[in-house]
């Protein structure tokens, strides 16, 4: 391998050599704010999500489990990957007989990569929050709900608590204190199913990630 330490020294020296460029602008800290109430945030979020072909279902603390069941049934899912550790995951696992065969991400990927890549129909995850302006889910994958859950299976079902729906990304970062708490290994913004417009500007869904994204608002 080449000597990257020497390169580091050289590059930094070159950057320090010229007279320090001035920034010259002080408009950096402006924060867009929208005065949207809860209903407006839900409306905007839903509108954006639907515009990119995500499914959005409204539910309550009592009905969300039934909505997940209905979604699974409607899509004819043969199996569903759900964490047995998260609060909602526990509830699903407690009623396993009403769901397609439940699978769990209970070992490192190396132990079941083939099954995850080729044998899982759908995954259910929680979310860390949402963004109304752009119709976005915030995911912070962890040991219970690892990164690939929201990426590899063709269908991703996610629950978003409306209390965690912010107006903008900037607001979410600030109010959830991302910097203070420190960034997780991987944080994600997901705004719809995987798509591409690389062929003749025509949208096609499900390129590498899920073809379908189902959001259940609670």
127-146 residues in contact with another protein (CB under 8 A) are 133-136, 141-143, 146
Q: Which residue among 99, 105, 124, 128 contacts another protein (CB under 8 A)?
A: 105
Contact between 26 and another protein by CB under 8 A: the answer reads yes
Q: Which residue among 21, 37, 76, 163 contacts another protein (CB under 8 A)?
A: 21
Q: How far are the Cα atoms of 120, 122, 126 from residue 186, in angstroms, in the given order?
A: 22, 21, 15
The continuous run of DSSP H or E covering 43 comes out as helix 38-51
Nearer to another protein, 64 or 141 (CB): 141
- Within residues 39-98, the interface with another protein by CB under 8 A covers 48, 52
**Shortest spacing between CB 50 and another protein, in angstroms:** 13
Which among 58-66, 73-81, 89-97, 182-190 is the span making contact with another protein, rule CB under 8 A? Answer: 182-190
Nearer to another protein, 73 or 109 (CB): 109
Structure tokens that stand for 64 in this block: 């969300």
Contact 165/133 with Cβ under 8 angstroms?
no
Contact between 179 and another protein by CB under 8 A: the answer reads yes
What does the H/E/C string look like for 46-105?
HHHHHHCCCEEEECCCCCHHHHHHHHHHHCCCCEEEECCCCHHHHHHHHCHHHCCEEECC
């Amino acid at each position: 391998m080449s000597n990257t330490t020497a390169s580091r020294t050289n590059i930094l020296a070159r950057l320090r050599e010229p007279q320090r460029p001035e920034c010259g602008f002080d408009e950096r800290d402006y924060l867009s704010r929208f005065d949207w109430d809860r209903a407006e945030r839900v409306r905007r979020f839903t509108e954006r999500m639907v515009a990119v072909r995500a499914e959005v279902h409204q539910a309550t603390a009592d009905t969300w489990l039934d909505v997940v069941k209905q979604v699974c049934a409607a899509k004819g899912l043969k199996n569903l990957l759900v964490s047995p550790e998260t609060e909602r995951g526990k509830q699903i696992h407690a009623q396993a007989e009403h769901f397609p065969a439940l699978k769990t991400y209970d070992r490192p990927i190396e132990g079941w990569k083939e099954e995850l890549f080729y044998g899982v129909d759908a995954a259910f995850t929680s979310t860390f929050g949402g963004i109304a302006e752009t119709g976005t889910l915030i995911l912070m994958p962890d040991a219970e709900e690892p990164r690939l859950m929201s990426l590899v299976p063709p269908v991703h079902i996610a629950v978003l608590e409306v209390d965690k729906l912010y107006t903008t990304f900037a607001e979410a970062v600030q109010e959830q204190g991302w910097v203070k708490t420190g960034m997780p290994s991987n944080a994600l913004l997901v705004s719809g199913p995987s798509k591409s417009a690389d062929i003749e500007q025509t949208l096609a869904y499900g390129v590498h990630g899920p073809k379908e994204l189902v959001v259940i608002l609670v």
